[in-house]
């Protein structure tokens, strides 16, 4: 069917994680990277989102003649109605001859394959790829391949116009003395406080350099007692602990030379808050946006700028990071008409997706950003609330290599280690899902063990102690057993996110026919915990489901 279609035709086209969507076949933009098998793909303009993407022939269908098939009546995603209105307007405005030609060519519509159904969760029609074992370029040491030290991140020299045609402020290299002025003055306090904004104020210094009084990072004892990157409460850190590997304890400081690039950050949840504070503390210029706008207030007091929409943040910044709850949140932020990320993407704009989401959505986002000339990197993180506050996250990245390099000072500020897993968008997501699948099953097993201990009359304190003495003595087991023992489920890693990650890992397993017996069983336990109302509690509340 798609072979009959030609430039100018109105169509239904399906991106991997979206239902079939109204679009138009248009001339490809020479600036936009073509996929490998471009001969079998149409370049599509999507109505509503005004996004562009290369879509394989087999998932592109004439609009007229397939309307009944693809018109959604239930679970209508945001922007779908607007897209239908826009394509219907385009039909009304079509010259008669063009319509006659179109109808003649489409007079024999091909059958629509079953796999092109309208469920957002529907399986992709592509045959499942075997997991590829690739030689990976690992960049934890941030050196070049020949072993020479990495150059300081290159700065964009061009000043691309934004969507309104205005020139954006060019990114300027700092002189060494300016860099020294901007360098972070990090202080860490061991005094317990819940307030991560305490003792922070930002002042504009005369001249071009913004000198900041950097905020002190204050972490409460309760934060530390559940930090998987630290030893157990009252226990000395062992030489093999994650914290000592990272060289990070609350009293240790990092010195980061911030990039002069303007940084945007979308999402001020548990993770975003910690990451943004560390970017500010290390002297980065950060513009923030959050769906619930009042969460921006304290960050603005702490020196951040505020964007009114994801689009505005992207337009005002060189690199925009995003860390939000789930796939729905990412789609809303990226694809929403007029105010979404895509609307702000122009040539050279950089977008870094840090949320843990599914691979299909990651690829849709990457393609959409690239189709507008933007640069894409995915960078999900390992670590929870306290590692985020402490700048001790592990960053898993894949996508554009230069953008990974350009993120150097940001990753230094928020993390203890960043790994570049290759140019393939999806690689970091797969790694992240596997790591969280293991975490989820371990904590579910701990919950079951402690629930059974209670039933057979053992003292849970004894169980926690025995666990802390043997080979299971690791931060996750120690801290989560303490949480269960003390019935203290304030969220460090929200249980609903753990269940989402298990669900996504199971979908990934389906795709490659990998049996996941244990993860599937653990997922059921987390589902039960959500049903019992513990979705927003810490992952350790899965004990409630096990003991119920
Ligand atoms: P969180 O505390 O639950 O915060 C969620 C964030 O997403 C909030 O900023 C929320 O905005 C925003 N959001 C939700 N739905 C949205 C929508 N439809 N449109 C726009 N914004 C929306 O989550 P988190 O713990 O920071 O986690 C963020 C991501 O990092 C998740 O993908 C999670 O799996 C991953 N992660 C979390 C941890 C952890 O330990 N917490 C560790 C590693 C990775 P509002 O403030 O308006 O609700």
pTM over 0.85: no
294 ligand 1 Cβ < 6 A: no
Q: What is the mean pLDDT of residues 373-389?
A: 97
Nearest atom within ligand 1 for CA of residue 268: 9
Strand partners of residue 11: 23, 62
All CATH 1.10.1040.10 domain ranges in the chain, comma separated: 432-546
Alpha carbons 174 and 206: distance in angstroms, whole number: 16
- Cα within 13 Å of Cα(140), Cβ side: 8
User: Tens digit of pLDDT for each residue in 117-141?
Assistant: 443 333 233 333 333 444 343 443 3
- Please report the pLDDT score of residue 2 as a whole number: 55
By most ligand atoms within 8 Å of CB, the mutation choice from 77, 271, 537 for ligand 1 is: 271
- Most confident range, picked from 4-8, 111-115, 288-292: 288-292
The answer to whether residues 285 and 179 touch, using CB atoms and an 8 Å cutoff, is no
Ligand 1 contact, 291 CB (< 6 A): yes
Q: What percent of the chain has pLDDT over 70?
A: 72
Residue 311 near residue 341, CB atoms below 8 Å = yes
Residue 201 pLDDT class (50, 70, 90 cuts): very low
Q: How far is the CA of 12 from the centre of ligand 1 (A)?
A: 32
> What distance in angstroms lies between residue 105's CA and the mean position of ligand 1's atoms?
47
Give the residue, 473 or 165, on which the prediction is more confident: 473
Average pLDDT, the chain: 78
For residue 294, how far is its CA from the centre of ligand 1 (angstroms)? 15
CA distances for 114 relative to 110, 119, 125, 190, 438, angstroms: 12, 11, 9, 60, 34
432: left (phi over 0), alpha (psi -120 to 50) or beta: alpha
Q: Can you read off the two tokens belonging to residue 399? A: 């996508």
Residues 518, 524, 528: CA angle, nearest 5 degrees: 145
The answer, yes or no, to whether residue 110 has pLDDT greater than 60, is: no
Average pLDDT rounded to a whole number, residues 224-249:
30
pLDDT at 17 over 90: no
Exposure string over 43-68, b if 16+ CB within 10 A, otherwise e = bbbbbbbbbbbbbbbbbbbbbbbbee
Does the Cβ of 327 fall within 6 Å of ligand 1?
no
Q: What is the pLDDT of residues 138-178, one digit of tens each?
A: 443 343 333 333 333 333 333 333 334 333 333 334 433 34
Read off the pLDDT of each residue in 358-381 and give the average, rounded to a whole number. 96
Q: Which residue ranges does the chain devote to CATH 3.40.50.720?
A: 263-425
Report the chain's C-alpha Rg in angstroms: 25
Tell how far CA 117 is from the center of its chain. 27
Residues 6+ apart with CB under 8 A from 7: 25, 26, 27
Residues taking part in catalysis: 432
Which CATH number among 1.10.1040.10, 3.30.2020.30, 2.30.30.90, 3.30.950.10 corresponds to the domain 432-546? 1.10.1040.10
Rounded to the nearest angstrom, the distance between the alpha carbon of 404 and the centre of ligand 1 is 22
Q: In which band, very low, low, confident or very high, does the pLDDT at 109 lie, cut at 50, 70 and 90?
A: low
Nearest CA to ligand 1 atom 44: 381
Query: How many Cβ atoms from other residues are within 10 Å of residue 90's Cβ?
Result: 14
The protein residue whose alpha carbon is closest to atom 1 in ligand 1 is 269
H helix or E strand, kind and range, residue 451: helix 427-455
- The answer to whether the CB of 256 is under 6 A from ligand 1 is no
What does CATH list as the number for 263-425? 3.40.50.720
Give domain 10-125+189-245's CATH architecture: Roll (2.30)
| Ligand 1 mean position, distance from CA 266 (Å) | 10
User: In the chain, which segments carry CATH 2.30.30.140?
Assistant: 10-125+189-245
């Amino acid at each position: 069917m798609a072979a009959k279609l030609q430039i100018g035709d109105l169509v239904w086209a399906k991106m991997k994680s979206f239902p079939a969507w109204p679009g138009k076949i248009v001339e490809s933009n020479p600036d936009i990277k073509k996929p490998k098998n471009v001969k079998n793909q149409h370049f599509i303009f999507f109505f509503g989102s005004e996004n562009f993407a290369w879509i394989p022939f087999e998932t592109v269908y004439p609009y007229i003649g397939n309307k009944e098939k693809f018109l959604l009546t239930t679970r209508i995603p945001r922007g779908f109605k607007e897209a239908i209105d826009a394509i219907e307007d385009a039909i009304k405005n079509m010259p008669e001859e063009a319509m006659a030609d179109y109808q003649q060519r489409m007079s024999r519509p091909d059958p629509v394959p079953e796999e092109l159904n309208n469920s957002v969760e529907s399986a992709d029609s592509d045959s499942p790829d075997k997991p590829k074992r690739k030689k990976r370029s690992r960049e934890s040491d941030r050196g070049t391949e020949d072993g020479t030290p990495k150059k300081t991140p290159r700065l964009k020299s061009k000043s691309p116009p934004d969507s309104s045609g205005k020139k954006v402020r060019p990114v300027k290299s700092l002189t060494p003395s300016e860099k020294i002025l901007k360098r972070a003055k990090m202080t860490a306090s061991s005094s317990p406080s819940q307030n991560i904004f305490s003792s922070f104020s930002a002042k504009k210094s005369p001249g071009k350099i913004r000198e900041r009084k950097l905020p002190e990072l204050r972490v409460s004892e309760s934060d530390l007692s559940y930090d998987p990157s630290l030893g157990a409460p009252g226990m000395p850190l062992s030489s093999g602990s994650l914290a000592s590997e990272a060289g990070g304890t609350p009293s240790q400081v990092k010195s980061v030379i911030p990039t002069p690039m303007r940084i945007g950050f979308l999402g001020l949840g548990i993770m975003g808050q910690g990451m943004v504070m560390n970017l500010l503390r290390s002297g980065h210029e950060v513009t923030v946006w959050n769906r619930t706008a009042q969460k921006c207030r304290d960050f603005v007091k702490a020196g951040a700028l505020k964007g009114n929409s994801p689009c505005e943040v992207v337009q005002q910044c060189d690199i925009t990071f995003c860390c939000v709850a789930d796939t729905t949140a990412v789609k809303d932020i990226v694809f929403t008409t007029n105010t979404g990320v895509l609307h702000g993407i122009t040539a050279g704009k950089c977008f870094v997706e840090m949320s843990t989401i599914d691979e299909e959505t990651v690829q849709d986002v990457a393609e959409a950003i690239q189709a507008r000339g933007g640069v894409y990197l995915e960078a999900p993180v390992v670590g929870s609330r306290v590692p985020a506050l402490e700048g001790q996250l592990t960053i898993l990245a894949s996508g554009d290599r230069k953008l990974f390099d350009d993120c150097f000072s940001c990753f230094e500020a928020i993390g203890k280690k960043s790994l570049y897993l290759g140019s393939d968008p999806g690689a970091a997501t797969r790694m992240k899902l596997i790591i969280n699948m293991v975490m989820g099953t371990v904590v579910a097993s701990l919950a079951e063990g402690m629930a059974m201990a209670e039933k057979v009359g053992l003292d849970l304190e004894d169980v926690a102690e025995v666990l802390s003495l043997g080979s299971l003595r690791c931060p996750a087991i120690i801290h989560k057993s303490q949480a269960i023992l003390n019935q203290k489920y304030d969220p460090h890693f929200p249980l609903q996110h753990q269940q989402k990650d298990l669900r996504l890992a199971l979908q990934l397993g389906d795709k490659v026919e990998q049996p996941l017996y244990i993860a599937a069983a653990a997922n059921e336990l987390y589902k039960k915990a959500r049903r019992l109302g513990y979705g927003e509690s810490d992952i350790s509340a899965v004990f409630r489901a096990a003991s119920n």
